[in-house]
Amino acid sequence: MVRAGIVVAISLTVVIAVAWTFQRSLIYLPDRSAPPPVAELLPHGRDLTLATTDELELHAWFVPAAPEADRELAVLYAPGNGGNRANRATIAAELSSRGFSVLLMDYRGYGGNPGSPSEDGLAADAEAAVRTLEQEGYPPERTIYFGESLGGGVVARLQASHPPAAVLLRSPFTDLAAVGAHHYPFLPVGWLLRDRFPVVEHLSASLVPVTVVYGTADSVVPTEQSAQVADSAGNLVEEVHLEGVDHNDPEMVGPPVADALARLADSLPGD
């Protein structure tokens, strides 16, 4: 029994050491390939370059609002932890048709961009997107931050330092350790994690208007975590449940989410 205990202890130590060393490859799942020029997927879009404070140049897309519906509001779209901006062309088109100009960013290490993702790195990338939108004529007070899953952690931090007109969180978690513990209950995730993304901590003290959208059949982020984010928001406008919808179902990049963002914009003073 002593020998078996030693084997178990050694095995657990090895698993923990591997998880510590390679944790970011478990968190971030980029499609590193460069998407085609935006005009091939979104005919009225433009390719942009975001310049970060640590001297990276990141590719992004800017999709202007449909002229007949223009609200003179922008959406900064912070994606989740997988794929690249080509996977978000559908939601960009939906938002454009509802009168929003959209900056669809890719983080470092995603979509042909240099660098490797980390919590601080993604924060720097989002700040570069804010500066670029301001150059395009959309300061934060005329911008809605849209955080998709992991992107919810990015924009929750961003809104604390660069307050926007509003925030929409799609499938948010309370913090990364909580969702990690859900998927890896055999690991001391709270102790291991270097990247934390504390969504609730950032939003609970914020007065920025917030809408939270999530599917009731989410297999990636537990539904109760998204509900807890909504409950903790300092200025909740709407909590939207998409019945029977999973984390990456088509509805999550389609009309239900775009309509929720339009309602959020309609609730803003002067809009």
Over residues 93-127, the pLDDT tens digits come to: 999 999 999 999 999 999 999 999 999 999 999 99
Strands 143-148 and 73-78: parallel
Fold of 2-266: Rossmann fold (3.40.50)
**pLDDT score of 8:** 44
Residue ranges per domain, the chain? Answer: 2-266
Over residues 38-88, the pLDDT tens digits come to: 999 999 999 999 999 999 999 999 999 999 999 999 999 999 999 999 999
C-alpha distances in angstroms, 256 versus 36, 56, 222?
27, 35, 20
Over residues 142-151, the pLDDT tens digits come to: 999 999 999 9
Angle between helices 89-97 and 255-266 in degrees, nearest 10: 40
Distance CA(233)–CA(40), nearest Å, equals: 38
Q: How confident is the model at residue 20 (pLDDT cuts 50, 70, 90)?
A: very low
